[in-house]
Chain A
Amino acid sequence: MTTPPQTPSSQMKGLSILRVVATLAIPFILLFGLYVQFHGDYGPGGGFQAGAIFAAGFILYALVFGLGAARRIVPQRTVEAGLALGVLIFAGTGVASMLFGGNFLDYNALDSHDPVHGQHLGILIIEFGVGVTVASVMLAIFYAFAGRKRVEDPMAEPLLDGDGNVENEEPGP
């Protein structure tokens, strides 16, 4: 491995403001993502929007604190599992409604006593599946792009490593 480029100290000064602002903003971005996810039946939004907002929060974290730090919080394996897990949750809800005696994706069957409650349950679960898949895909694409730079051209100007030492902090083999 080649030595990663050192960030000039002039960039470090600007980054301390970025770090503070990002630290303050990210919890609210994630909270807003959760709100859009689980409030989609009552207000605007739903799984797709929530997934995109949630992924944007983690991407902001990666931009400010470095790709390595983001990978430690949401590892590549988790992202890859999430891709498939969301679709499985969605399709699995359809299979579950068949097991309960309805048609595929007929949420009425999910609650034999109260079909409307079954609908609510079904919508909540499949929207969660959509959110998981969308957030994972966004993060997977970002990881793929950001990780590629390091392989192709390690001496290029650092765009994504916040403190310039991120590559060094990666655990060794």
Chain B
Amino acid sequence: MTFDETQWLTVVLLALLAATAVIIVRRRGLWEAVMLSGIYSFLGASWMMLLDAPDVAFTEAAVGAGISTVLMLGTLALTSREEKPPKRPPWVPLAVVTATGAALIWGTFDMPHIGDPNAPAQVYPDPSYIERSAEDIDVPNVVTAVLSSYRGYDTLGETVVVFTAGLVVLVLLRGRREEYES
């Protein structure tokens, strides 16, 4: 099996992702763990670019590496910078994680190869979306055409979910607003 440059880059990125995950687990200092999780998101975003998914990479970089890191740092400022040492040896969690990981890897054997023209994503629900969108909507980015027009209801629902999440955070965390706004 020979690898081209993109595949080598993928191997390196995935190895770095795994190494970062292991280091995060072994850290007791939460500040370092948050910083490393930002690096993890950035590596993930780079990998998404290799998979030709720049939309997802944008989101991962802005939300995962940027805003989540800031929010987690804000949380650390409210709590503690050190993780408490565990009371019991972690055999049960380790077994659960190993079993879940093995099941997930086993599941990937059923997945189609990257770029397989017969993959379900290419033939289902209907490839004519891609052919028709040029004439129906005439927007070069088919992803935008599908999300905004063909599946506008779904996107409206997602926007309402984002709105609800923001509203709930406001209600939960802003209870004592008068104290810092007065």
B78 at the interface (CB under 8 A from A): yes
Secondary structure class of chain A's binding surface, majority of residues? helix
User: Which B residues contact A (CB, under 8 angstroms)?
Assistant: 54-55, 58-59, 62-63, 66-67, 70-71, 73-75, 77-78, 136-141, 143-145, 147-149, 152-153, 155-156, 159-160, 162-163, 165-167, 169-170, 172-174, 176-177, 179-182
- With most chain A CB atoms within 10 A of its CB, the pick from B78, B163, B165 is B163
Say whether A169 faces chain B, with CB atoms less than 8 Å apart: no
**A142 to B153 alpha-carbon distance, docked (Å):** 28
Classify the secondary structure of B's interface with A.
Answer: helix
B62 surroundings in chain A (CB, below 8 A): 49, 52-53, 56
Residue from A52, A91, A145 in contact with B173 in the complex, judged by beta carbons closer than 8 Å? A145
Q: Are A49 and B74 in contact (CB under 8 A)?
A: no
Bin the interface of chain A by size.
35 or more
Interface centre among B147, B148, B172 (most CB of A within 10 A): B148
Known contacts: A41-B140, A76-B181. The answer to whether A59 contacts B67 by CB under 8 A is yes
Chain A: CB-nearest residue to B65: A56
Please tell me if A107 contacts chain B, counting CB pairs below 8 Å. Answer: yes
Question: Known contacts A44-B58, A145-B75, A149-B77: does B148 contact A123 (CB below 8 Å)?
Answer: yes
Residues on B with beta carbons closer than 8 Å to the beta carbon of A43: 141
Nearest CB of chain A from residue B76's CB, rounded to whole Å: 8
* Contact B58–A140 (Cβ < 8 Å): no
Per CB-CB distance, the 10 closest pairs between chain A and chain B, nearest first, are A137-B166, A44-B54, A144-B173, A52-B62, A105-B152, A145-B74, A49-B58, A41-B139, A123-B148, A159-B77
